[in-house]
Amino acid sequence: MNTAKPTVLILCTGNSCRSHLAEGILRAVAGDILDVQSAGSKPAGYIHPLAIAALKEIDIDISAHRSKAMTEFMDKKVETVITVCGNADAACPIFPGQVNRHHWPFEDPAHATGTDEEKMAVFRRVRNEIRRTFTAYAAGRRDQLKQK
């Protein structure tokens, strides 16, 4: 019996905001049953400081994450690919062993303008949208496991 957790790869273009928000949240709610990773089609090379701050507010620490290229996962068995922006969806290859693919686009909070507080408000809103979506996804995955 294969006891390895299935890998869920969350893709975005820059792998600096949305994909890390989603990775942090999904890992927090389903890291016991899923191997959660994120990557980008054109990695920015950094994690956005407001993404780190937005998750810290809900007790999730992604400060040690790094921006990764999706090519790092081409030789790994990826069960599910979830794209969180349109550009990544268009650029997304098929990964070895891939069974599922979902496209759940979210607004890019990195494009927020205004004061620091106004920018942070956008990050919080997008974080909360991602949290709702990925918490529901995790609940569905748990239900699937119970049925097996």
**What residues are labeled active site?**
12, 85, 92
User: What is the pLDDT averaged over residues 36-54?
Assistant: 95
Residues 87-141: pLDDT tens digits? Answer: 766 666 677 777 898 999 999 999 999 999 999 999 999 999 999 999 999 999 9
Does 144 fall in a domain? no
Does 73 fall in a domain? yes
User: What is the pLDDT averaged over residues 67-83?
Assistant: 92
Query: How far is it, in rounded angstroms, from Cα 83 to Cα 62?
Result: 19
Does 119 fall in a domain? yes
Which is more confidently placed, 93 or 39? 39
Domain at 21, CATH number: 3.40.50.2300
pTM equals 0.92
Does 1 fall in a domain? no
What pLDDT was estimated at residue 92? 66
Q: The domain containing residue 121 runs over which residues?
A: 7-137
User: What is the pLDDT averaged over residues 44-73?
Assistant: 96
Which is more confidently placed, 92 or 8? 8
